Structure 1
Amino acid sequence: MMRRLLPLLAVALLALQLAGCGAGNDRSTASSPGADAEASQSASPSHNHAVPAPSPSAGQPTLSSEHSESPRVSEEKSALHDAAKDVVEALRDRDLKRLAGWIDGERGLRFSPYAHLDAKSGLVFKAGQLPSFRDADKLEWGVYDGSGEPISLTFRDYFEKFVYDQDFADAPDMNENKLKGKGNSAYNGQEVYPGSSFVEFHYPGFDDKLEGQDWESLILTFVPSGRDWRLCAVTHAQWTI
């Protein structure tokens, strides 16, 4: 009797074991999504941490506020440029009335035949005192470079030799607060007029054989007046001995 029951008991035990394994697999399968989600969360970056921006490469320039030009500085430079253009055109047109409108009321207008301004003996004119092109009187404008002889000329003759002897309104170079034309006579306008700015109209030369020694410049010196500029010096510059 027992021998007959043993096979049946063995089959029953085997069935119970198989059923238990199936239930265990089901529980394992049911718990796997949570584990996968936890693993996924720990592997992915947290949304609370910002991703750092890439740093610029060595070859990529960066704009520094230190080097950027403020709107006020840009406005002043534009006003200086416009003032210089209007003055040089007035000189080209020999329009003394237009020129007088730019003269600084306090300092007047100084004429200098060379880059170095003579602050002691140079001629200075107020707006209403500019000579006429018709004046026959000769004035002492300084001394000639090299000889030291006095420059004694009428206003017309001085203008044609030491102001507008070239078409400076059409000069190839226009420079603000820097000079291309430099010789033995150094420009000292900003020493004579502290706080001033200047504009140079420059010809690098006319005869290739002279290798630039025949350069000429017209330098207009301005002093600030509020948001505007006023003319205080007209300077002729050229190669000097």
Structure 2
Amino acid sequence: MAVVMVSLVSALAGCSEKETVNGGTSSSQPTTQPTTSVTSSPSPVPTPAATSVPTTVPGTSQPSSPPVSTTNPQATASSQPTPAATPPSFSSAADAKKVIEARALEVMTALKERNITKLVSLVHPQKGVQFSPYSYIHTATDIQVQGSNLAALWASPSLTHWGTFDGSGDPIDLTMPNYWAKFVYNANFAAAPQISYNTMIGKGNMINNVFSVYPTSSYITVEYHFPGFGPQYQGMDWTSLRLVFEYTGSQWYVVAIVHDQHTM
């Protein structure tokens, strides 16, 4: 009996020591739940936003929704080359005059002064200039001279076939200076009493096809007109010179010099 009591006292003493070591309020039984420390585990890694990675539809390699394009449509449109601007139709005489009056005066001054060097700079750089002795323009046979050839033609003593005379049908075979005197500057057109823009003044028996060959949608025609010189002729001695201009690059150039007069 004494032995049993000693053992019981020893057991109780052991329990008191254990409570003292672990702290006065701790349970003497071992804790089955582990204590979690806030710093004992690494912080969770942030999950990327769902919109940054397209979701793949099972069974396909394509994303469930197409990625949003970041291209600016307006920026794409503005990167396209802008078409070159083209001049509008100048069928209105007032509009045509405003645009071409100064340029036409340059050409007329060169014709009056026979300044071939100046004329070369005013002639269409690709087409050259066409010379027609009468109002009906023969596009297949009328002489067309490149600007670079004008000086040589002017200096040449050889005859050039420019067409046929009205009435007789005889060939117009003349040097350029002689043709100039009869079918270009046969009157002082720089001082003509009547000037029109994309409008016909002189009218004879011959068909006038200038607006068919050079329509006002693309060309400007300036006419310098004398209604006549002697009262005894009752206006049958009228004469006109028409200058036809075309816009190319950034400037208007003369493409045709069309003479006109009373015809049989």
Q: Does 1:161 align with 2:182?
A: yes
The equivalent of 2:255 in structure 1 is 232
Q: Which amino acid is 2:143 matched to?
A: L
- The TM-score with structure 2 as length reference comes to 0.61
The equivalent of 2:113 in structure 1 is 93
Q: For 1:14-29, what aligned pairs fall within 5 Å after superposition? A: none
The equivalent of 1:80 in structure 2 is 100
2:225 to 197, 202, 208: 202
**Is this contact kept in 2: 1:181–1:202, CA < 8 A?**
yes
| Distance change in 2, residues 1:211/1:231 (3 Å) | same
Deviation of 1:227 after TM superposition, in Å, equals 4.9
| Distance change in 2, residues 1:74/1:218 (3 Å) | closer
1:87 match: secondary structure: helix
**Is this contact kept in 2: 1:111–1:124, CA < 8 A?**
yes
1:143 to 164, 182, 194: 164
Deviation of 1:76 after TM superposition, in Å, equals 5.6
The equivalent of 2:202 in structure 1 is 181
2:99 match: secondary structure: helix
Distance in 2 between the 1:178 and 1:74 partners?
11
- The TM-score with structure 1 as length reference comes to 0.66
Distance in 1 between the 2:230 and 2:176 partners?
28
What is the number of equivalent residue pairs in this alignment? 170
Deviation of 1:149 after TM superposition, in Å, equals 1.1
Distance in 2 between the 1:224 and 1:190 partners?
16
Deviation of 1:83 after TM superposition, in Å, equals 1.1
Structure number with the higher helix fraction is 1
Q: Which amino acid is 2:172 matched to?
A: I
Deviation of 1:226 after TM superposition, in Å, equals 4.8
**Is this contact kept in 2: 1:79–1:229, CA < 8 A?**
no
Query: Unpaired segments of 5 or more residues in structure 2?
Result: 1-89
1:78 match: secondary structure: helix
Q: Does 1:106 align with 2:126?
A: yes
Q: Which amino acid is 1:88 matched to?
A: M
Q: Which amino acid is 1:175 matched to?
A: S
Q: Which amino acid is 2:213 matched to?
A: V
Select between 76-85 and 195-204 the one with higher mean Cα deviation.
76-85
Distance in 1 between the 2:155 and 2:255 partners?
23
Q: Choose 1 or 2 for highest CA Rg.
A: 2
Distance in 2 between the 1:75 and 1:214 partners?
31
The equivalent of 1:222 in structure 2 is 245
Identity of aligned residues (%): 35
Deviation of 1:135 after TM superposition, in Å, equals 1.8
Q: Which amino acid is 1:81 matched to?
A: E
Distance in 1 between the 2:173 and 2:94 partners?
42
